[in-house]
């Protein structure tokens, strides 16, 4: 029978590699067309790769935790019925000239094969760009990641002169040096017999990389203020009662109201609905309102994106938030449901604590943390009354959002949440 080399297809704009999270088939399995083969995690999403043909699995390339390259062989199939072997994807000519993912992973991190010929150093696109911007040769940096992968921390260490890179390649701007960015330890930490080592992999590793990038890139500051949610609580209760009376099973949470308040505030302060382009050092003020709603899953925090928030009704917005949250927990999100965000909301609901300092979802310029509502006595019109009080925590990128603007934006949000009827006038 003919064999077919199935290569990892393009799985998202700008994505050139992904981590093999879980194999769904094994060698020798008979599979059908479109049957899921493997789960692959990229910088943007975890996606399930289906089989393009029917046949038997002859070979799987790479173990769980390995890095697979786009347009490199992922699975070798034996086709049923003597079908002619199909050609590889459009980029097969390029793939034939470069080593497969497993070969790249096994190659020494100095970029040389055993025969002395050059091989590609294993590193993410972000790491490559960082090294290129600071005049560093990745082949001269010792990788500390899996299979010798060069990480962003390795590049930072090289810029600080802590690795064995040539002296003439270690020059870096003064702001990138000094104790504020500690170098990667040169040796692993010791551990005792009663200790447990837990590898940082899968989504947990992607979250770690993204958080480090955000904190390394954007100078954060956080602004916290309390608000009176009493009228918002009453409005939500009335609307849910009306939906139930009409036989509608939709239940409004507070998130649709928060999303609408953000839209109203951003129309007054549009720079808050932005992405910062690191390559060109430009602020891109987005015309669409696409809000990421952080969702907790077994693998870690996922941020699906609700698109065109301003165009959705409260009921539709509630349904979309629920749908995306369920898809995140069931690992059924599509790539485009995790990309294109212009702002992020993170909320732990009734376990949300007093306040926090949330980390910006790079390349966005701000993030809103929503916290637990508490009934407590407050002074209103010179009278002590019991009100539903809540804190909002907003973190901003200080490169483009100054303190006064961050405060004004926060108070604009609070205005609409404390008097939610205004939202219906604003968005009418």
The set of residues, in sequence order, having a beta carbon less than 8 Å from that of 95 and lying 6+ positions away, is 7, 71, 72, 73, 88, 89
Question: Between the CA of residue 313 and those of 249, 310, 319, what are the distances in Å?
Answer: 15, 8, 10
Which residue from 332, 126, 342 is spatially nearest to 213, judged by alpha carbons? 126
CB 413, CB 268: distance < 8 Å: no
SS3 for 93?
Answer: helix
Euclidean distance between CA atoms 337 and 291, whole angstroms = 11
The residue annotated as part of the active site, out of 71, 94, 371, 398, is 398
Structure tokens at 58: 């002859």
Determine which helix (DSSP H) or strand (DSSP E) holds 84, and give its type and residue range.
none
Beta strands, E only, 194-309: 220-228, 274-277, 282-285, 291-293, 295-297, 300-302, 305-306
Q: Is 94 annotated as catalytic?
A: no
Other Cβ atoms less than 10 A from the Cβ of 196: the count is 5
Closest CA relative to residue 110, chosen from 122, 98, 95:
122
Active site residues: 398
């Amino acid at each position: 029978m003919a064999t077919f080399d199935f290569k990892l297809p393009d799985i998202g704009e700008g994505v050139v590699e992904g981590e093999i999270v879980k194999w769904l088939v094994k060698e020798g399995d008979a599979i059908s067309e479109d049957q899921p083969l493997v789960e692959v995690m990229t910088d943007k999403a975890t996606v399930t790769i289906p089989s393009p043909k029917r046949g038997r699995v002859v070979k799987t390339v790479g173990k769980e935790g390995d890095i697979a390259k786009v347009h490199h062989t992922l699975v070798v199939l034996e086709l049923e019925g003597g079908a002619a072997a199909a050609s590889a994807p459009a980029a097969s000519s390029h793939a034939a000239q470069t080593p497969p993912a497993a070969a790249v992973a096994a190659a020494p991190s100095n970029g040389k094969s055993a025969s002395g010929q050059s091989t590609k150093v294993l590193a993410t696109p972000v790491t490559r760009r960082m090294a290129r911007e600071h005049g560093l040769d990745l082949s001269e940096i010792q990788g500390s990641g899996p299979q010798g992968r060069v990480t962003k921390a390795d590049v930072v260490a090289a810029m600080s002169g802590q690795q064995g890179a040539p002296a003439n390649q270690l020059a870096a701007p003064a702001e990138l040096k000094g104790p504020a960015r500690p170098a990667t330890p040169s040796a692993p930490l010791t551990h005792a017999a009663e200790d447990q080592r837990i590898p940082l992999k899968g989504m947990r590793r992607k979250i770690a990389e993204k958080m480090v990038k955000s904190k390394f890139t954007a100078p954060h500051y956080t602004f916290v203020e309390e608000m009176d949610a009493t009228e918002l609580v009453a409005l939500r209760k009335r609307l849910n009662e009306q939906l139930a009376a009409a036989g509608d099973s939709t239940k409004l949470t507070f998130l649709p109201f928060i999303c609408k308040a953000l839209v109203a505030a951003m129309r007054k302060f549009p720079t808050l609905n932005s992405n910062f382009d690191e390559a060109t050092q430009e602020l891109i003020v987005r015309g669409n309102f696409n809000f990421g709603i952080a969702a907790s899953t077994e693998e870690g925090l996922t941020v699906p994106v609700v698109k065109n928030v301003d165009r959705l009704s409260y009921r539709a917005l509630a349904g979309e938030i629920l749908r995306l949250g369920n898809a995140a927990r069931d690992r059924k999100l599509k790539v485009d449901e995790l990309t294109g965000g212009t702002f992020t909301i993170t909320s732990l609901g009734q376990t949300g604590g007093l306040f926090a300092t949330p980390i910006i979802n790079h390349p966005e310029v701000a993030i809103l943390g929503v916290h637990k509502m508490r009934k407590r006595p407050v002074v209103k019109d010179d009278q002590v009354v019991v009100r539903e009080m809540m804190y909002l925590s907003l973190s901003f990128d200080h490169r483009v959002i100054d303190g006064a603007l961050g405060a004004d934006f926060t108070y604009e949000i609070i205005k609409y949440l404390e008097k939610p009827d205004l939202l219906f006038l604003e968005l009418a």
